[in-house]
């Protein structure tokens, strides 16, 4: 095991070392957890780790602070819960995002069939993934995926990320065509790690692409026809919070939220108001939880959230890797050598407008609404 190496995408069988211990990432099948699984994970997070759980942007979750000597016991417990793969390679390939709003057997069947197909030995990049967005409406168009199973105005399509159109397929042929596309990427990637990058470079995937996918908005916090969508600030889901939410089955989303298949009471630990400014704030664990970070992040992010204008986004990153939000934000604060760089309309590693800022200087600069230019 290479769990002493930093910087890759962790898994359950191949965890990653962080400043607070091992990170063990889980990919629940079909992006779902039963109430019993959720309650058991809350116990395991406390008994084998720090009790801190995080939601990822691909409907994954990870246990933080896992002690190395507790890892074998954790693996046995996860296997009993049906949350462990046969080996690390199979786990890495099983990178499937399933829409949380699907109740139909077809969607769950497609997700399960894709999981079975990905058990074959196929060398794909660590972040290469699939989306099954075939529920009652389209919601995963903006979520990270390389090969997409979607609905068009009539029927299903398989679409390569980066292409506007997809190929019409039957439900029985959809998985085969998705795997054909994955094998094509493996053979023609030419150093590219993501499908959209390869398409942008001029490569044309072998699809009879003629149909546009349905378009839809991401699931917002609040009550829905499928249950209550609960967002977690920064995706942080402490063990006690997970227990409180496990009143029914849970469906994980790529927006660091959980769809609870039941009504849930209000709580300061979660967000059900779609207008809450904290939904537009991203922050990694920061120092001391992450060994790459040189600054604390989340307390500052929460303190700045009320100053955001109605549409503005803020990203506070402990280092230039920008793990919590790899896309541009209106304002990004990046930690460097114990101070902050301020970046406008960019990512954590983009050229800064200002450097060497202390927290007091940030407050002085950003007091009041953050929209006016510096």
Q: How far is CA 237 from CA 47, 138, 244, 271, in A?
A: 16, 26, 10, 12
CB within 8 A of 372, min separation 6: which ones?
none
Q: What is the pLDDT of residue 8?
A: 60
Q: What is the pLDDT of residue 169?
A: 98
State the span(s) of the chain assigned CATH 3.30.413.10. Answer: 277-367
Do 24 and 62 touch, CB atoms closer than 8 A? yes
Task: Look at residue 295 and tell me whether its pLDDT is greater than 60.
Answer: yes
State pLDDT tens for residues 177-229: 999 999 999 999 999 999 999 999 999 999 999 999 999 999 999 999 999 99
Vertex 84, ends 251 and 244: CA angle to 5°?
40
Spatial distance between the Cα atoms of 48 and 118, rounded to a whole number of angstroms: 30
Spatial distance between the Cα atoms of 115 and 43, rounded to a whole number of angstroms: 27
- Select from 177, 180, 184 the least CA-distant residue to 204: 184
Q: What is the pLDDT of residue 121?
A: 80
- Select from 148, 53, 50 the least CA-distant residue to 97: 148
Q: What is the pLDDT of residue 153?
A: 94
CATH number of 16-88+220-260: 3.90.480.10
Spatial distance between the Cα atoms of 228 and 249, rounded to a whole number of angstroms: 11
Do 155 and 172 touch, CB atoms closer than 8 A? no
Quickly state the pLDDT bin for 4 (edges 50, 70, 90).
very low
Cis status of the peptide bond prior to 7, with omega within 30 of 0: no
State pLDDT tens for residues 9-42: 789 999 999 888 999 999 999 999 999 999 999 9
State pLDDT tens for residues 173-182: 999 999 999 9
Quickly state the pLDDT bin for 367 (edges 50, 70, 90).
low
pTM: 0.88
Sign of CA dihedral 115, 120, 126, 131: negative
Q: Give the fold, CATH level 3, of 277-367.
A: Sulfite Reductase Hemoprotein; domain 1 (3.30.413)
SS3 3: coil
Task: Look at residue 7 and tell me whether its pLDDT is greater than 50.
Answer: no
- Look up residue 355 and give its DSSP letter: E
State the span(s) of the chain assigned CATH 3.90.480.10. Answer: 16-88+220-260
143: β partners: none
Do 354 and 374 touch, CB atoms closer than 8 A? yes
Task: Look at residue 233 and tell me whether its pLDDT is greater than 60.
Answer: yes
State pLDDT tens for residues 255-291: 999 999 999 988 999 999 999 999 999 999 999 888 8
């Amino acid at each position: 095991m290479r769990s002493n190496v930093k910087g890759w995408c962790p898994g359950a069988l191949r965890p990653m070392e962080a400043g607070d211990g091992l990170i063990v990432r889980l990919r629940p099948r079909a992006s779902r957890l039963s109430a019993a699984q959720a309650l058991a994970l809350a116990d395991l997070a406390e008994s084998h780790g720090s009790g801190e759980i995080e939601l990822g942007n691909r409907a994954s979750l990870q246990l933080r602070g896992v002690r190395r000597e507790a890892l074998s016991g954790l693996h046995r417990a996860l296997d009993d819960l049906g949350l462990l793969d046969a080996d690390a390679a199979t786990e890495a390939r099983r990178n499937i995002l399933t829409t949380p709003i699907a109740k139909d057997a077809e969607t769950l069947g497609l997700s399960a069939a894709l999981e079975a197909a990905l058990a074959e030995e196929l060398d794909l990049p660590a972040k290469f993934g699939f989306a099954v967005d075939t529920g009652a409406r389209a919601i995963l168009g903006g979520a990270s995926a390389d090969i997409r199973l979607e609905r068009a105005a009539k029927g299903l399509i398989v679409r390569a990320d980066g292409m506007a159109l997809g190929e019409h397929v039957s439900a029985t042929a959809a998985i085969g065509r998705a795997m054909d596309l994955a094998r094509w990427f493996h053979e023609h990637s030419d150093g590219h790690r993501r499908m959209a990058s390869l398409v942008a470079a001029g490569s044309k995937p072998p699809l009879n692409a003629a149909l546009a996918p349905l378009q839809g908005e991401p699931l917002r916090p609040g009550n829905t026809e499928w249950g209550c969508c609960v967002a977690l600030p920064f995706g942080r889901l402490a063990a006690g919070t997970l227990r409180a939410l496990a009143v029914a089955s849970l469906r994980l989303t790529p927006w660091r939220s959980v769809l609870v298949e039941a009504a849930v009471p209000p709580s300061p630990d979660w967000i059900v108001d779609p207008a809450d400014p904290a939904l537009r704030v991203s922050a990694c664990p920061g120092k001391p939880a992450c060994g790459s970070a040189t600054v604390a992040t989340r307390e500052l992010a929460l303190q700045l959230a009320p100053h955001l204008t109605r549409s503005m986004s803020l990203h506070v990153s402990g280092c230039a890797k920008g793990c919590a939000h790899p896309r541009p934000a209106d304002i990004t604060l990046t930690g460097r050598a114990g101070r902050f760089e301020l970046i406008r309309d960019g990512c954590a590693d983009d050229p800064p407008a200002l450097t060497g800022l202390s927290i007091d200087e940030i407050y002085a600069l950003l007091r009041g609404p953050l929209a006016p230019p510096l």
